[in-house]
Each structure stands twice: as C-alpha cells, then as structure tokens.
C-alpha cells in the first residue's frame, strides 16, 4: 500500500476500506507518514467527504492508535459530555462538576483550542499549577475519589487524534463532518463510557453554519455510539453569538466560577444545566429527565457543583483559590474598549469574528507550535437583543501585547450589528438528536 495512492483515491471521491484507513492512521501515529502527506489526506477528506462506513472505520483506527481505558474498578455509570466547538463555550467546566456532584462518574476527555473556538484543556491550564497531562493511573485515582477528572489525548487515549487535531488546526481542515465526528468519538470510545451527551453547535461561531449540517454531524456521532451500544444524546444549540460574556481562557474560568455560584449569564447557565441534566439522566441517577433537571438545579443552588470543581482543581495540582480570587489567574496588561457611535438594538454579534480576534491576540494558536496566552480575550458588555445608546461600550479586548491589537479590534468592531428594530428572539436549544 502506498500513502500517495490512498490520498489520490480519496481526492477522487473513492471509498477507502477499513484496512486502508488503518494504514494511514497507524502510519501517521507512528511517524512513518509525514505531516505533509497527512495534510493532503485531510484536505482530500474535507473536499470528498466520507461514507458512514468510512467514518466508523476511521474512528476505530483512531481508537486503536492507543488503547481502551479500563475503568471497571470505579463503580458507577460513566458519562462524558463534549462540544463540537464554540466561542465562549465553557459549559463543560460547569455541567461536568454539576453532574459529578449528583453522582455521575465523569471521565472527561477534552480538547484544545481549534480554529477560532476555545478548548477546555487550555481553559483549565490557565489555572496556575493545573495539570491535564495526567498518567492513566492518576486519572483513574482522581476519578475514583472525586467522580470527575479532566484529561486530553495521551499515548493511550486516541494519540492519532492528538496529532491530527493540531494538524487540522494548522491546515484549514477543521470544518469537516467526518473529521469532527471521528475526532470526538475516538476520544470518547477510548474511555469505556456508558453514555455521552454531545453539544453540537450551529451558527456563525460554530464549524457547522447550517442546522442541516449540524443535524448530520449529530446523527453521525449518535450512530457511531449506537453501533457500540452506548447511549448518546446530542443537543443542537445556537452559536450565533458567543455563549456568556467571556471569551478567552482565564476570562472564561472567571465566568465559570460566577456561574457555578449561580451568578452567571442566563444563556450559559441554562445550557449548562440542561447538559448536566442529560448527563444525570443518562447516568441513571434519576428516572426522568425532569427529575434530573431538578437535581442539576439543586447542585447549582447548594454550591456543590462549585465545591466539586474546586476539589478537582486541587486534585489536578491547581490552585482552587482562583475561583474566589480572580487576581490569582493570569491577568492581561491592557484593555481596549470598543464603543458604538449608533444607538438602537444589538441585532447580531458574529461569534466567529470575536473568536478569531481573541485567537489573534493569543487565546488560540496560529501554527501548531504556538503557545497560548491564558490572560487575553474579549469580554462582551452587551448581548443580542439589548438596547444601546450612542457611545455605549460593546466589549473590552484584554491583551498583553499590542502587535495585533489593531487588527483584532477591527474584527471585533465588524462583529456587532446594530439595527433600529429589536431582533426576533432565537432559541438556544434548537433540537435533540438521540
């Protein structure tokens, strides 16, 4: 088998066999297939798509690039949650502790910033001392003790995804349904989960811009789960404006803390509670979804979700005081206000432009080797539908260096649309696929 022939065939829209996909994934993981050939293969998939059979085989090969963790020594139903990627999307850091506080075992395998979207691991690593590079034994120990632990790809957990994910980020091959589905599901299948809740984002700040594409992605992932007998539910949720007000790693940790103390933004709180409720329901802690919703709400109101996150931060080497004393988090050195000269209603906030601006000043990566600046990002002062006067502040950009500030400010200014009529209200949770 020659890699170039497989790239050629995929480029021309042919279906590859499981053995052929295994050859590519295995060869890339071991280093025999170089980045330039894998980049070409990913671009071929991007343009030629894949059949359901190919996506299942690709996912299996990615899982088999590592091993499947045995969590059977930890009693309880194991449920994880994953988002397809959004801007200001910090729900994992809220729904996971709420579900764990309700008794679900949450072995959370997360990703890093991808394209203009943020990553849970980068957010957690903005907490001084926090380690996401746990060994499998450490992961299991923390999970057993606290019912929740956070980890990323390791040599054991879908290492192929670890390499392909960074390569996709740097080669404009992120927005592909088969590549997103296999990336997410390989990480989830590498940990022996019983159930999974997916948040499939749709809109300007998501990789899927249309609901029909988001539905296809959701169906594909639910189908992969069903094939291996896992309970999977996907919510399709609106990402036409950033979720909450904070975008950027440490800034989002602050908003997580406020939300877990029941003082967070309404949209973020609502979605995090619904995701937590579905984790609790699939985790068989309650008999009905409504009971699960009540339980999630009570874990928010009595502060047990908040305490759970603190305990896990401590267990993973981080400083839990950051949740009370935000000055202990990395802080930006400058802030620039973006104001409007027009009054009216905020009719749109293009989440992709805000995400790009935030990434441009250091919250994300431009090339694989880039390091993240945890302190930088954007805090919105307004949300869609809000009435504003001329001169109102729309948002503040927090930065540590000003080389790219001007470009980022232009993107941010373009993101806001002001109209004279109030825009129609849009649902946050659009559809459930199960």
Is 146 a catalytic site residue?
no
Q: What's the CA gap between 202 and 137, in Å, rounded?
A: 37
Is 82 a catalytic site residue?
yes
CB 381 within 8 A of CB 265: no
Work out whether strand 393-399 and strand 334-339 pair parallel, antiparallel, or are unpaired.
antiparallel
Q: How far is the CB of 89 from ligand URA (least distance, A)?
A: 10
Number of residues that bind ligand URA (CB under 6 A): 8
**Of positions 66, 86, 107, 111, contacts ligand URA by CB under 6 A:** 111
Q: How far is the CB of 379 from ligand URA (least distance, A)?
A: 24
Concatenating the DSSP letter of every residue in 33-73 gives S-HHHHHHHHHHHHHH---HHHHHHHHHHHHHTS--B--TT
Does residue number 237 form part of the binding site for ligand URA (CB under 6 A)? no
In the region spanning residues 11 to 30, those forming contacts with ligand URA, defined by CB under 6 A, are none
Does residue number 55 form part of the binding site for ligand URA (CB under 6 A)? no
Does residue number 382 form part of the binding site for ligand URA (CB under 6 A)? no
Site string for ligand URA, 154-193 (x = CB under 6 A): -------------------------xx--xx---------
Does residue number 114 form part of the binding site for ligand URA (CB under 6 A)? yes
Measuring CA to CA, how many Å separate 345 from each of 397, 411, 412, 413?
21, 20, 17, 15
Q: How far is the CB of 408 from ligand URA (least distance, A)?
A: 23
Catalytic, out of 10, 116, 146, 168: 168
Which 3-state string (H, E, C) describes 353-418?
HHHHHHHHHHHCCCCCCCCCCCCCEEEECCCCCCEECCCCEEEEEEECCCCCHHHHHHHHHHHEEE
Catalytic, out of 90, 187, 231, 299: 187
Q: What's the CA gap between 215 and 222, in Å, rounded?
A: 10
3-state class (DSSP) for residue 363: helix
Is 161 a catalytic site residue?
yes
When the beta carbons of 92 and 240 are compared against ligand URA, the nearer one is 92
Does residue number 84 form part of the binding site for ligand URA (CB under 6 A)? yes
Is 168 a catalytic site residue?
yes
Residue among 1, 432, 5, 2 nearest 219 (CA): 432
Catalytically active residues, by annotation: 82, 161, 168, 183, 187
Residues that bind ligand URA (CB under 6 A): 84-85, 111, 114, 179-180, 183-184
């Amino acid at each position: 088998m020659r890699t170039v022939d497989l790239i050629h065939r995929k480029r021309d829209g042919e279906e590859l066999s499981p053995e052929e996909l295994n050859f590519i994934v295995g060869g890339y993981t071991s280093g025999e297939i170089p980045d330039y050939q894998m980049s070409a293969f990913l671009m071929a998939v991007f343009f030629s798509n894949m059949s359901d059979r190919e996506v299942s085989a690709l996912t299996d090969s990615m899982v088999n690039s590592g091993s499947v963790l045995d969590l059977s020594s930890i009693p309880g139903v194991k449920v994880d949650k994953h988002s397809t990627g959004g801007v200001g999307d910090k729900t994992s850091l809220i729904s996971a502790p709420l579900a764990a506080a309700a008794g679900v075992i949450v072995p959370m395998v997360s990703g890093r910033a991808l394209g203009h979207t943020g990553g849970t691991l980068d957010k957690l690593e903005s907490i001084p001392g926090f380690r996401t590079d746990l060994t499998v034994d450490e992961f299991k120990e923390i999970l057993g003790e606290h019912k929740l632990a956070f980890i990323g790809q390791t040599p054991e957990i879908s290492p192929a995804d670890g390499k392909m994910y960074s390569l996709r980020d740097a080669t404009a091959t992120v927005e592909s349904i088969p590549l997103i589905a296999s990336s997410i599901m390989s990480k989830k299948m590498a940990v022996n989960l019983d159930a999974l809740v997916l948040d499939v984002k749709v809109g300007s700040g998501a990789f899927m811009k249309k609901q029909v594409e988001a539905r296809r992605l959701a169906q594909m992932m639910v189908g992969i789960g069903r094939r291996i007998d896992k309970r999977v539910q996907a919510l399709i949720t609106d990402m036409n404006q950033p979720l909450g007000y904070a975008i950027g790693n440490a800034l989002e940790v602050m908003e997580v803390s406020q939300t877990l103390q029941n003082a967070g933004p309404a949209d973020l709180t609502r979605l995090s509670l619904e995701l937590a409720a579905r984790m609790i329901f699939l985790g068989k802690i309650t008999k009905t979804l409504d009971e699960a919703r009540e339980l999630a709400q009570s874990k928010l109101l009595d502060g047990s979700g908040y305490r759970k996150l603190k305990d896990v931060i401590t267990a993973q080497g981080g400083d839990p005081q950051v949740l009370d004393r935000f000055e202990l988090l990395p802080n930006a050195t400058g802030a620039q206000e973006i104001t409007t000269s027009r009054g009216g209603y905020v009719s749109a906030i293009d989440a992709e432009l805000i995400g790009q601006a935030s990434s441009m000043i250091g919250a994300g990566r431009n090339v694989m080797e880039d390091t993240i600046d945890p302190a930088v990002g954007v805090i919105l002062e307004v949300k869609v539908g809000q009435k504003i006067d001329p001169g109102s502040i729309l948002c503040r950009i927090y930065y540590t260096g000003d080389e790219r500030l001007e470009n980022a400010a232009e993107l941010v200014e373009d993101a806001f649309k002001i109209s004279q009529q109030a825009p129609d209200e849009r649902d946050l949770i659009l559809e459930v696929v199960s």
